[in-house]
Amino acid sequence: MKNNRVQVISDIAEIINSNPGCCFLRKAELIFESSIENDIDLLLTHDANNTLWKYLKKLGFKKKIDSKILNIYLYGAQPHIHYYNKNLDLHFDCVFGLFHKSVHIISQPGFEITHWIPLDKSIQEDSIKEFSKIKINECEINFLRSEVELVHLLAHVILDKKGNTDTYYKERIPLLLKKSDINKLKNMLNLVFFNFTDYLIELLEKNKFDLLFQEYIAFGDY
C-alpha cells in the first residue's frame, strides 16, 4: 500500500512538472508524509486539473468541490477542489490561484459565509513565472519561489488560519525571510497588507508568530 502511495505522489509530481504554471503549494518537502488529514496542496491550471482528475479517477479517488453556498468567491477567486482516497490515505487540495479568506465574515445561525479574495494580479503572475525545485525519492518537486511562498504563507497564516501558526510555519517563515530579496518581498506584501507590511516584517524578525493575527486586526497606523 505504501508503495502505491509513493507511486501516486510521484506520478502527480510528474503531471505538475509537465504542466506550466503548476506546483506544490505548501510543505513541498513533506508531501510523502501526507495523509487524508494533512493534505497535499496543489496550484493547478484547469488543463492540469483535467489531466489530474483523469488519472486519479482510475485509482478510485473521490472528488469534492467547496460549497458555493458557504463561500463567496470575489474578483475571480474559485473554489478549492479536493481529491481524496481513504484506502491510500491521500488527499489533494487543488486551487487555481493564490486565493485567501477575507477577514470579513457573514455570520448566520449554524454557519458562516467566508469571502475568498485572490492575491494581487501581479503576485499571481509572478508566482508561476519560475519555480524552486527539490528532489525527494528520486522525484523532482516544483514549489513557489522564496518571496512568493513567504507572501502566500503569511496570507495563509494570518487570513486563512486567523493567526494559528503551526510549528512547520514557525520554522519555515524565518528561513524564507533570510532567503528572500527584502525589497521584492516588501513590494509584494504591500499589495496584500498595505501599511501593515513594515510592522509585519518587524514581528517576523522578532519571531512573534503567535501575535500576527491580533496585531494585524489591531493595527492602526494608516
Partner 1 sequence: MSNPGVILLAAHSKSGGCFEKIRIEDNIGESIHIHLDDFRIDLTIEEFELFSKIIWRALQELDDLPDHLKESNFLSDIYKVTNYKKPEIDIKNSKINELSFIKRTSFLRFFYLYGLVNIKETPQYLYLKNLSNEYESYPQKNYLGISNADRLESRLTSLSNKNLKTDPYAVVFGKNSLVVRDGMHTCSIIAHKSGINSYVDVLHIKNIGFREQVNQPILWCIKSVIGSTFFILKRIGVIFLKKILKK
**Angstrom distance (rounded) from CA 213 to CA 217:** 6
Nearest alpha carbon to residue 149 among 115, 189, 111: 189
The CB-of-68 to partner 1 minimum distance in angstroms stands at: 5
- 222 near partner 1, judged by CB under 8 A: yes
Nearest alpha carbon to residue 101 among 110, 83, 113, 93: 113
* CA torsion angle 41 42 43 45 (round to 10): -150
- 219 near partner 1, judged by CB under 8 A: yes
- 118 near partner 1, judged by CB under 8 A: yes
Among 117, 128, 173, 185, indicate the residue that binds partner 1 (CB under 8 A): 117
- 102 near partner 1, judged by CB under 8 A: yes
The CB-of-115 to partner 1 minimum distance in angstroms stands at: 8
C-alpha R_g of the chain: 18
Binding residues among 127-186 for partner 1 as defined by CB under 8 A: 155, 159, 162-163
Contact by Cβ (8 Å): 137, 10: yes
Among 3, 46, 107, 135, indicate the residue that binds partner 1 (CB under 8 A): 107
The CB-of-117 to partner 1 minimum distance in angstroms stands at: 5
- 2 near partner 1, judged by CB under 8 A: no
Among 62, 63, 68, 170, indicate the residue that binds partner 1 (CB under 8 A): 68
User: Ramachandran region of residue 187, left (φ > 0), alpha (ψ -120 to 50) or beta?
Assistant: alpha
The CB-of-163 to partner 1 minimum distance in angstroms stands at: 8
Q: Smaller CB distance to partner 1: residue 31 or 200? A: 200
Nearest alpha carbon to residue 113 among 69, 60, 162: 69
- 75 near partner 1, judged by CB under 8 A: yes
- 65 near partner 1, judged by CB under 8 A: no
Classified as helix, coil or strand, 193 is helix
Contact by Cβ (8 Å): 180, 187: no
Nearest alpha carbon to residue 176 among 26, 21, 31: 26
Among 1, 46, 109, 183, indicate the residue that binds partner 1 (CB under 8 A): 109
**Angstrom distance (rounded) from CA 15 to CA 8:** 11
Among 104, 129, 170, 208, indicate the residue that binds partner 1 (CB under 8 A): 104
Which stretches of the chain bind partner 1, using CB under 8 A? 68-69, 74-75, 100-104, 107-111, 113, 117-118, 120, 155, 159, 162-163, 191-197, 213-214, 216-217, 219-222
